[in-house]
Amino acid sequence: PRPVRAARGTTLSAKSWQTEGPLRMLMNNLDPEVAEHPDELVVYGGTGKAARSWEAYDAIVRTLETLESDETLLVQSGKPVGVFRTHEWAPRVLIANSNLVGDWANWPEFRRLEALGLTMYGQMTAGSWIYIGTQGILQGTYETFAAIGVKLATARGLSAADAANASLAGTLTLTGGCGGMGGAQPLAVTMNEGVVLIVDVDATRLARRVSKGYLDEMTDDIDDAIARVLAAKAEGRALSVGLVGNAATVFPELLARQVPIDIVTDQTSAHDPLSYLPEGVSVEEWRELAASDPEGFTERARASMAKQVKAMVEFQDAGAEVFDYGNSIRAEAKLGGYERAFEFPGFVPAYIRPLFAEGKGPFRWAALSGDPADIAATDRAILELFPEDEHLRRWITAAGEKVHFEGLPARICWLGYKERHLAGLKFNEMVASGELSAPLAIGRDHLDSGSVASPYRETEAMADGSDAIADWPLLNALLNTASGATWVSIHHGGGVGIGRSIHAGQVIVADGTPLAAEKIARVLVNDPGTGVMRHVDAGYPRAVEVARERGLRVPMLPDAD
Amino acid sequence: PRPVRAARGTTLSAKSWQTEGPLRMLMNNLDPEVAEHPDELVVYGGTGKAARSWEAYDAIVRTLETLESDETLLVQSGKPVGVFRTHEWAPRVLIANSNLVGDWANWPEFRRLEALGLTMYGQMTAGSWIYIGTQGILQGTYETFAAIGVKLATARGLSAADAANASLAGTLTLTGGCGGMGGAQPLAVTMNEGVVLIVDVDATRLARRVSKGYLDEMTDDIDDAIARVLAAKAEGRALSVGLVGNAATVFPELLARQVPIDIVTDQTSAHDPLSYLPEGVSVEEWRELAASDPEGFTERARASMAKQVKAMVEFQDAGAEVFDYGNSIRAEAKLGGYERAFEFPGFVPAYIRPLFAEGKGPFRWAALSGDPADIAATDRAILELFPEDEHLRRWITAAGEKVHFEGLPARICWLGYKERHLAGLKFNEMVASGELSAPLAIGRDHLDSGSVASPYRETEAMADGSDAIADWPLLNALLNTASGATWVSIHHGGGVGIGRSIHAGQVIVADGTPLAAEKIARVLVNDPGTGVMRHVDAGYPRAVEVARERGLRVPMLPDAD
Ligand SMILES: NC(=O)c1ccc[n+]([C@@H]2O[C@H](COP(=O)([O-])OP(=O)(O)OC[C@H]3O[C@@H](n4cnc5c(N)ncnc54)[C@H](O)[C@@H]3O)[C@@H](O)[C@H]2O)c1
Ligand SMILES: NC(=O)c1ccc[n+]([C@@H]2O[C@H](COP(=O)([O-])OP(=O)(O)OC[C@H]3O[C@@H](n4cnc5c(N)ncnc54)[C@H](O)[C@@H]3O)[C@@H](O)[C@H]2O)c1
C-alpha cells in the first residue's frame, strides 16, 4: 500500500505515449482522489480492483515503462503474465478479468480462486483502467433521470414537444447507495431540478459526496430528512439530502409513512451480497463478519434485499416510477425469497435501449497532461462539432460548471455511431497542433450498446430474446483489437456480479500522430458500430435505420450492399 | 442443402489468398467427404456446425468473395453479422460461437436460443473452419496411446530407455464411439501395434471407418468380436474390431465375462446427452425421440452413461488403465446418479500435460491447392527441419503411408513453442518459391495448451487449482488477433458441452508473401507461447524451464529480465 498518483505533464516514464497512456490511467484508477479503497487496490463497485496485488501492480508498471511500440503485455485478472512481440497496429495491453467457465461461474468458486491468488474482480472500468471518478457515472445517471422526467411529463399529458424539455422539478426520488457510482445520483437528480433522498449505511460515504459537491446535505434523522425533502418538493426547488440508515429498514418505513415519493431506485452494491449490509449488522462489524462467514452473511444480505425490494414493488403498486439501476438487486431479492422481485424493469429497457440502438452510450476521455485547461478546450471542441445537439450542449455546459475533477481531468458525454470518431479525430488534431498540452486517453464505459451481454442490465428483455448470448462482447473485443485500440479488455461479472455478464472495454490514446488518427478512424467507428450491429440483429427498427443511413455493412440485412 | 466442395487449384473466387483461405476451409468443413452430416451443416462431434443455416452459409461465402484486404468480417455463431474496416495486419474473419453468460450457460437455454435461430453449437474446429477430417484427431489419439504404452511398460518394470520404445503389442483396448473423432481410435491403437475393440450403436459409422482404412473389421456378434480380439492379443498382432452395440450394455457384459482388457476409454458424444443413445432406444427412433422429449431423453441417456461408467470404474478396480477421453462422460454419469464417476482421470492430466507445458499440441496445415503432392513436400520439409526428433519422424512416415486424405489434403503433427514458426516460415518460403503449388492454411486444434479452459479436459487438475479460470483462452484469442492471424475464434462448450469450456482458435494463411512471413513469425511463436505462459503461471517446473531456455518474457517470473 502506498499512495499512487499518475504523473502530470509531458515528461514520459514509458517509451511512448502509447504506453504512458495505460500507465497513467492505471495509476489514476488508484489515485486516492479517485479510488474508493486505494490501499486494497479497490477502485469502485465494492470490490472492483485495478490490479491483483501490489506486487502485480509494480510488475505492470515496470513492464509498461520498458514496453516497445511493437510489443504487447497480457494481463490476467490484474496480473501481468506475458510480453509478446506484435506490431505497431496492435494494442499495447490486452486484459482479461474475472472470467470463469460457465459451470464454475459463481461467487463461492470465484472467492475460492481469489483466495488462492488466482483472480480478482475487475468490475467494469476498474480492471480496465478507464474509471474517471464519479463523473463517469454522473452523465449516465443524468441521462437516465432526464429520460424519466420526459416519461413522467408525457404521462401527465404534456405534448411531446413540452415533455422533451420537462425537468424533475417538483418530484421526489428515493434511492439507496452513495458509493463510487451511486454517489452520482443526488447531483444527477438536482441537475435535472428534482429532489432526492439518498440512503446509505455508511456516514463517511455521504460525507464524502457532500465534500465533493455531489450531495447538498446529510442527516441521520429520518423525520428531519423527510421534512427537508418535502419542503423542497413543495417549493419545486432542487435539493439532495443524504440519510444515514439501512435501505432495508428505511425504504419500508417511508412506504408505511406514505411519503409522497415519485421515483424509486437503488445503487447499493447489491450485485455482491458481501457488499450489501444486512439489517442488524453495524458498519464496524461488516468486513469481519463477511470474511468469517460469507455464506451466512450472503443469506442475511439477501433477506434484507428482499425487504427493500418488496418496498420498491409496493411503491410501484402505489403509482411510483420504479426501476432497477443495474445492481442485480432484483435477482438477489429473488434469491432471498421475494417472488415479485422482477415486477419492476431494469433501467436499460425502461429508458436507454433506444439510445443503444444508435450505438449511443457513455463516451469519455481523460487529459494525460493533468491540465483542466485541456478538458475545457475539448468541451469547446465538442460544442463546435455538434452545434445542433441541444441536449449535449446543456450537459457539456452544466458539467463544465458543476463537475469537480477527481484525478486526471476528464469528460464524458453520450455520442453514437459515426459521431465518436469525429470527436476523436478532432482531439488528435488538437494534440498535434499543440492546442492540447498532451495526449488524451479516449475510452468508454462498459455500460455500452455493443460490448455487453448482461441479462439483468444492458441486454435485459432484448426484442429477440437474445439477452444471454455472449458472442457479441467477445466480437467487440476482437474487433477493437483488430482496429487499433491501445488497450482492450474482456471482463466477467462486472456491474451485476459473477455469472451474470460478459463485457468488453477499449481505450485509445490520441497522441497526435497520423498513425493514431488512422486507428481512431477505425476504432471509434467500429466500436459503436458493433452496438448498432447487435441491435440490428435483434430486430430494432431504429438500428436498421441507422445502419442504412450511416452505412454500416450488415451482410444479412435485406438489401445490404 | 447441397453438396459443398472447396475449389482446388490456383484460380481465386475471393480477392486474395487471405480470404480464399477461410472460404475454402469453410467449404472443406462441409465437404461430404469431411463432414458427418453435411446437409445439416454438421461437421463432427454430434452437432458441431460450420455455419448457422444455409442462408448464413451463402451470406458468408458472398461476403468472403468480396472482402478487401483491409476489411474484417464478424461471424456470430455461424452467422455473418458485420463487415468493418480494419487494416492489413488484422484478421480477415473474427468468430464467436455458442458463448453464453454464465448463469445461462446450460443446455436447455442453449437449445431454446438455438431454436429461436440465435446461436449454433460450434464445437471446436467445426465452427472455426479448420477441421480436417478424422486425421485431425488421429495424431492426438496416436500420441495418447503411445504415452499409455510407455506407462504400461514402465509399470511392467521396463527401464526408461526400453519403455520409451515400447508399443501396445499384446494389449487389448476397449472403447466406445466410432464417429468423426472417435473413429480415429482403432487406427491409433493399431499404429501402436495394439488390439482394440470399439463399440458403436450405429453400424453405418463402423462401416464408414472400415471403408476408409481406420478400422480393420466389424461384426454385430459379441462372441465373435471377443474371439477375434483375443486371438490377435495372444499373437501380439495389431487388429481393430468394431462391434455394433450399445456401450452401456456391452461394457458391463465384457466386465462380467472377465475379458482380459488392459485399457478402457470412450469417445461416444457423451458431452451432449442427446447425442448419446440410451439403452432401449433404437438408432432409427433416436432423433425423433431426442427432439420430441429432450429432458426425458437426457435422463435416460445419463442413466445409461452411469451404467457404462460404472463398468469403466470396475475395470479400473480390476487393474485396467482407464481414462476419460475428453467427452464429459464422467460428469454426465455423475448427473445420472453414479457417485464414483470421477475415480478415473481425464487423459490430459494422465498423459498430455507434460507436452502442454512446452506449448506442444496438435499443429496442422491444409493444402489449399487440393494437391496431395503439396502435403508430401511439407512432410519432407518437416523431417528436414527436425532431424533429431525420432518420434516425429515415426509419425510423419506412418501418416504419409496410412492416412487417407478427406477433403483438402492436410497434415497434423505435434510441435511446441519456438518450433511451429520454423515450420510455418519454411512453408511460406515453399509457397513463394513455387515448390508448393498454392498457399497453405496453418492452424491447430482447440485441444491445446494455451487456448482452452476446460476443467473436465484440457485444464483438469491444474497444479494450482486454476482449472476453471477462463481468462487464458480469451487472452490467447486477443493475442492471436493482435499478432496477424488470418482468422480467430472464441468458442464455448466445444468438446465437453455447454457450461464446461471456453476455447480459442487461430488459422493463418501462408501465401508466400513477406507480410505473411512477418505474421507467421509472430502468430506461430505467440500462440504456443500462451501455452507455456499458462503453465508457468500454474507453477509447472518444465514450463518455467522452457520459458527460460527459449526466451518467453513472463514479467513476474523470478529473475525475469
Ligand atoms: N446502472 C449503472 O450503470 C451502474 C453503473 C455502475 C454501478 N452500478 C451498480 O451500482 C452498484 C453500486 O456501485 P458503487 O460503485 O456505487 O458501489 P460502492 O460499493 O462504492 O457503493 C455502495 C454503497 O452502498 C452502501 N450500502 C451497502 N449496503 C447498504 C444498505 N443495506 N443500505 C444502504 N446503503 C448500503 C455502501 O455503504 C456504499 O456506500 C453496484 O452494484 C454497481 O454494479 C450500476
Ligand atoms: N479427447 C479429445 O481430444 C477429443 C477430441 C474430439 C472429440 N472428443 C469428444 O469425443 C466425443 C465424440 O466425438 P465425435 O466427433 O466422434 O462424435 P460423433 O457424434 O461423430 O460420434 C459419436 C459416436 O458415438 C456413437 N454412440 C452414441 N451413443 C452410443 C452408445 N450408447 N453406445 C455406443 N455408441 C454410441 C454414435 O453412433 C457416434 O458414432 C465428443 O464428446 C467429443 O467432444 C474428444
The structural domains of chain B, with segments of one domain joined by +, span: 135-344, 359-550
pLDDT above 70 coverage of chain B, percent: 99
pLDDT at B561 over 60: no
Q: Hey, is the C-beta of B504 within 8 angstroms of any chain A C-beta?
A: no
Question: Which of A55-64, A169-178, A277-286, B180-189 has the weakest average pLDDT?
Answer: B180-189
Looking at the predicted structure, is the pLDDT value of residue A545 above 50? yes
Q: In which band, very low, low, confident or very high, does the pLDDT at B559 lie, cut at 50, 70 and 90?
A: low
Cα separation of A96 and A120, whole Å?
A: 10
Residues 163-182 of B with CB under 8 A from A: none
| Residue A561 banded pLDDT, cuts 50, 70, 90 | very low
Residue of A nearest to B452 (CA): A101
ipTM of predicted complex = 0.90
Q: Which CATH number fits domain A1-33+51-121+351-561: 3.40.1770.10, 3.40.50.1370, 3.30.300.30, 3.30.1360.120?
A: 3.40.1770.10
Indicate the residue of B55, B91, B469 with minimum beta-carbon distance to A119. Answer: B469
Instruction: Give the ligand with the smallest distance to the CA of A137.
Output: 1
Of A86, A501, A553, which has the smallest distance from its Cβ to B483's Cβ? A86
Angle between helices B372-385 and B390-402 (to 10 degrees): 170
pLDDT digit string, tens, across residues B220-242:
999 999 999 999 999 999 999 99
Checking if the pLDDT of A560 tops 60, the result is: no
Residue B536's closest chain A neighbor by CA?
A: A81
The protein residue with its alpha carbon nearest to ligand 2, atom 21, reads B179
Does B165 score more than 80 pLDDT?
A: no
Which grid coordinates are listed for B210?
Answer: 472400415
Distance from CA of B374 to the nearest CA of A (A): 30
CA of B279 to the centre of ligand 2 (A): 16
The set of catalytic residues of A is 413
Average pLDDT, chain B: 95
Q: What is the CATH number of domain B135-344?
A: 3.40.50.10730
What's the average model confidence in pLDDT over A338-350? Answer: 95
Average pLDDT, stretch A340-356? 93
Q: Which parts of A202-282 fold into alpha helices (H)?
A: 203-211, 222-235, 247-256
Is domain B359-550 given the CATH code 3.40.50.2300 in the classification? no
At B336-376, the pLDDT tens digits run 999 999 999 999 998 999 899 999 999 999 999 999 999 99
| Cβ proximity of A134 and A141 under 8 Å | no
Length of chain A: 561
Query: Are the Cβ atoms of A481 and B481 closer than 8 angstroms?
Result: yes
DSSP bridge pairs for B363: B413, B444
CA A339 to chain CA mean position, Å? 28
pLDDT of B478 higher than 80: yes
Chains A, B: CB pairs < 8 Å:
284
Can you say whether residue B213 is alpha, beta or left, with left for phi > 0 and alpha for psi between -120 and 50 degrees?
A: left
Which segment, A33-47, A517-531, B395-409, is predicted with the most confidence on average? A517-531
Residue A161 CB burial class (10 angstroms; 0-12, 13-18, ≥19): exposed
Burial class (CB in 10 A: 0-12, 13-18, 19+), A339: exposed
By percentage, how much of chain B surpasses pLDDT 90? 89
Mean pLDDT of the region A78-99 = 98
Q: Is B247 in the pocket of ligand 2 (CB under 6 A)?
A: yes
pLDDT by residue (tens digit) across B29-57? 999 999 989 999 999 888 999 999 999 99
Model pLDDT, residue A559? 61
- Whether the CB of B177 sits within 6 Å of ligand 2: yes
Which of A28, A510, A496 shows the shortest CA–CA distance to A271?
Answer: A496
* Per-residue pLDDT, B518: 98
Letter for the amino acid at B314? E
Are A556 and B81 an interchain contact pair (Cβ–Cβ within 8 Å)?
Answer: yes
Angle, nearest 10°, between helix axes A283-292 and A294-317?
A: 120
* Contact call for B77 and A471, based on CB within 8 A: yes
Report the pLDDT averaged over residues B420-447: 97
CATH assignment of A140-344, among 3.30.1330.60, 3.40.50.10730, 3.40.50.720, 3.30.70.270 = 3.40.50.10730
Which residue's CA is the nearest one to ligand 2's atom 28? B276
Q: Which residues pair with A510 in a beta bridge?
A: A440
Q: What is the pLDDT of residue A436?
A: 98
Residues facing residue A413 across a β-bridge: A363
Count the residues in chain B: 561
Q: Which residues of A touch B106 (CB under 8 A)?
A: 102
Q: Cβ(B471)–Cβ(A76) under 8 Å?
A: yes
Q: From the CA of A6, how far away is ligand 2's center (Å)?
A: 55
Catalytic residue numbers of B? 413
Q: Does B558 touch chain A (CB under 8 A)?
A: no
Query: B61 touching A, CB under 8 A?
Result: no
**A113: chain B residues, CB-CB within 8 Å:** 465-466, 468-469
Count each helix (H run) and each strand (E run) in chain A, helices first. 20, 17
Model confidence pLDDT, tens digit, residues A102-119: 999 999 999 999 999 999
Which chain A residues are closer than 8 Å to B114 by Cβ? none
Distance from CA of A499 to the nearest CA of B (A): 4
The ligand placed nearest to the CA atom of residue B309 is 2
Q: What is the mean pLDDT of chain A?
A: 95
Q: Do A102 and B474 make contact, defined as CB atoms within 8 angstroms? A: no
Task: Report yes or no: A312 at the B interface, CB cutoff 8 Å.
Answer: no
The amino acid sitting at B468 is A
